[in-house]
Amino acid sequence: MLRHLGAKRTPQHNLKLATLLGLTAGFVNAEGFLGFSVLTTNVTGHAALLAERIALADWHTAQVVALWMFLFLAGAFISSLILLFTGHNQRYSYSIAIFIEIIILLFSALYGQRYDGSLVSKEIFAGSLLFAMGLQNSLVSMISGSVVRTTHLTGTFTDLGIELAQLFDKKKNDHQALRAKIKLRFAIIFFFMTGAVLGAYLFHHVGFKAFFAPISILIYALLYDVFRIKAKRFYKKTTNSLKNALKS
């Protein structure tokens, strides 16, 4: 799911990636907004807020919003840098960025109750989540070859609209591949929204401990590939041993 790249990657791998990390982003989107009153999975709304604060000469708030946007960019940059330096084809190169994301979400889960609504608190808590989502968005985009993006839905809805319209093009030959793309878009939207609803529900009941839900999903995503690789190795080793035993 995470380690397959390039020609080795299939639509099924992308679907699994969209399911798990779309669900994660949905949780963070709802919990970040309810906990810190800030959208923490994208920077689109922050651009308008930054422009408003500059127009009103509220330089202190403008600096904070600019910092949030920079942190999302920094997360994407760091994630890409990690993959470039560790090598795209190394088996667990993706795990570094996901581990950093887990640590950041754990910080919100354990210390989120200390949030007091001040700009300094928003810088720390909201900023760290924006950094984490920048990490995830870049990681998913690079792994999937820019096919999957999970932290926001704007581009996904746009792509879905284009692809649905292409279904009516009788001249288009590869409708099977097109349907696979549409299925992927619906999966991203569905699981993002599911994560958001569940995240909102959990936050209203357990507060900042709700962040343990996306942490659990990320841990599962890491372990999925690890145990899958070990299972394949065990199967291959056992099969080869049986073949050798039968030959002798």
Domains plus CATH for the chain? 11-247 (1.20.1250)
Mean per-residue pLDDT over the chain, rounded: 83
Helices (H), ranges, 56-115 = 59-86, 95-111
CA 40, CA 23: separation in Å to the nearest integer?
A: 15
Question: What pLDDT, in 10s, does the model give residues 117-136?
Answer: 887 888 899 999 999 999 99
Q: How many residues does the chain have?
A: 248
CA 124, CA 210: separation in Å to the nearest integer?
A: 18
Give 238's pLDDT tier (boundaries 50, 70, 90). Answer: very low
Structure tokens at 197: 């609803």
Residue 240, pLDDT > 70, answer no
Question: What pLDDT, in 10s, does the model give residues 183-204?
Answer: 889 988 999 999 999 999 999 9
Q: 100 near 159, Cβ under 8 Å?
A: no
Query: What single letter denotes the amino acid at residue 184?
Result: L
Cα–Cα nearest to 69, from 133, 121, 25: 133
Phi, psi at 107, each rounded to 5°: -60, -45
Largest interatomic CA distance in the chain: 84
The three-class DSSP label of residue 172 is coil
Question: What pLDDT, in 10s, does the model give residues 64-111?
Answer: 999 999 999 999 999 999 888 876 555 567 788 899 999 999 999 999
CA 140, CA 155: separation in Å to the nearest integer?
A: 14
Residue 41, pLDDT > 80, answer yes
Cα–Cα nearest to 28, from 160, 69, 20, 67: 20
Residue 234, pLDDT > 50, answer no
Q: What is the pLDDT of residue 141?
A: 85
Cα–Cα nearest to 32, from 114, 101, 108, 113: 108
Q: 41 near 133, Cβ under 8 Å?
A: yes
Q: What is the pLDDT of residue 45?
A: 87
Phi, psi at 169, each rounded to 5°: -85, 105
Question: What pLDDT, in 10s, does the model give residues 138-174?
Answer: 988 888 777 777 878 888 899 899 989 988 877 766 7
Give 8's pLDDT tier (boundaries 50, 70, 90). Answer: low
**For residue 84, what are the CA distances in angstroms to 132, 217, 243?**
18, 25, 40
Give 228's pLDDT tier (boundaries 50, 70, 90). Answer: low
